[in-house]
Chains A and B, each alone.
Chain A
């Protein structure tokens, strides 16, 4: 079994001690170092080359934000996770792959970390574009017309799983969750006609 090394960078000793305690019982994870200021970060990266780096973004401030980007570049195998303890500007989270919040319980933290280790996909937190892709628009039109996922998958020749993924992205991009809300959206954008929807 591979043991994943973790480095924690967090200014509050209470918080880092708590996090340390969380990881104690998880055999696959081992915290190799806890630091409370950014200056040590580069040294620790060289010494330990950890699998997961948990950083409180407050430590970097706004000007130092590119530290995480550099780490992403120099240590592509290290997964950077933000430990968010207070309200924070979104831009500070740009280069992280996941967020741990103070209110997360042990199970949630563990799930987040294990998901990252096992999937290791390259998506950053904020890389979504606002516009719907062509395929998403196709799916949206079908949804607005009241078609089921199965209908849509047959018509567009894609798997139901793909339909679901498109639908999730549509919700994420438009902020609209309900089918009737999406119908209004489709009408306002002239993607469908009233007669397509209501008999």
Chain B
């Protein structure tokens, strides 16, 4: 059964991680390392100099995809914190997860008949480019825009544009899974394929949560900022 209970400042950090191991990845993005003993969320966050309210917001969203943050929670978010969190996540995907999957895939490619191998490689390269473009757009257009809010500069961009064009970068991973599980000939590297499939599933669910953070936290947060800026004018 799904648990509807949200994490709070008093939750023991260890309890939070054990109830939802994929949050370990989130911890490292906040610069929080394991080994926190019996300390609760508030204590560990204070020590690591992390906003505990933002940390909880992210963890709750990761653990409960149906969770919709309240406006009070959104109000406590700080521009710098959320942008830095999202940028660190981008780097993690691009510099660690995707190369890791690519490494596995290359071994499969080597074992494949050449024409299959080429196709798989080309497919993955297209995916990498797609992800790179997706992140580049956010880092070079969306984030600077958010940073500039509150300055007097005129903006042609608005978060609404981001909201309506935000593309999906999980589809191709799903396709790759289907190909690896169903359609690649059975004798090609069975063990490697299991591993890579599990890695893809992890990445895919992580990206899903990442999209949720952007859609449920970043977008409403910036909408709030935009409104404030407009009222101040």
Contact = CB atoms under 8 A, between A and B. Distances in A.
Interface of A: 86, 103, 174-178, 180-185, 187-189, 194, 198
A184 B174 contact: no
B122 A181 contact: no
A161 B213 CA distance: 36
B126 interface: yes
Contacts of B175: 175-178, 180-182, 184
Q: Please report whether the interface of chain B is mostly helix, strand, loop or mixed according to DSSP.
A: helix
Interface string B54-66: 0000000000001
B176 interface: yes
Contact of B174 (A175, A183, A187, A189): A175
Given A86-B1, A188-B184, A176 B118 contact: no
Interface residues of B, number: 22
A181 B123 contact: yes
Given A103-B66, A178-B175, A181-B176, A187 B182 contact: no
Given A103-B66, A188-B183, A189-B183, A177 B174 contact: yes
Given A175-B175, A183-B123, 13 more contacts: A175-B174, A176-B174, A176-B178, A177-B171, A177-B175, A180-B123, A180-B126, A180-B127, A180-B172, A181-B176, A185-B179, A188-B119, A194-B119
B116 interface: yes
Nearest to A181: B175
The 9 closest A-B pairs by CB, nearest first: A181-B175, A175-B178, A176-B175, A177-B171, A187-B119, A188-B183, A178-B172, A184-B123, A184-B119
28 contacts: A86-B1, A103-B66, A176-B175, A176-B178, A177-B171, A177-B172, A177-B174, A177-B175, A178-B171, A178-B172, A180-B122, A180-B172, A181-B172, A181-B176, A181-B178, A183-B119, A184-B120, A184-B175, A184-B179, A184-B183, A185-B179, A187-B116, A187-B119, A188-B119, A188-B183, A188-B184, A194-B115, A194-B118
B228 to A, nearest CB: 30
A183 B123 CA distance: 9
Contacts of B116: 187-188
Contacts of A198: 122
A166 to B, nearest CB: 18
Nearest to B172: A178
B176 to A, nearest CB: 7
A194 B121 CA distance: 13
Contacts of A189: 183
Contacts of B185: 188
A60 to B, nearest CB: 21
Interface string B160-176: 00000000000110111
A103 B184 CA distance: 37
Interface in B151-210: 171-172, 174-176, 178-179, 182-185
A74 to B, nearest CB: 36
Nearest to A175: B178
Interface string B95-127: 000000000000000000001101110110011
Interface in B129-169: none
Contacts of B184: 188
Nearest to B114: A194
A69 B99 CA distance: 51
Contacts of B119: 183-184, 187-188, 194
A176 B178 CA distance: 7
A182 B171 CA distance: 12
Given A86-B1, A194-B119, A185 B174 contact: no
A183 B175 CA distance: 11
Contact of A181 (B1, B118, B179): B179
A49 to B, nearest CB: 37
Contacts of B174: 175-177
Contacts of B182: 174-175
A181 to B, nearest CB: 3
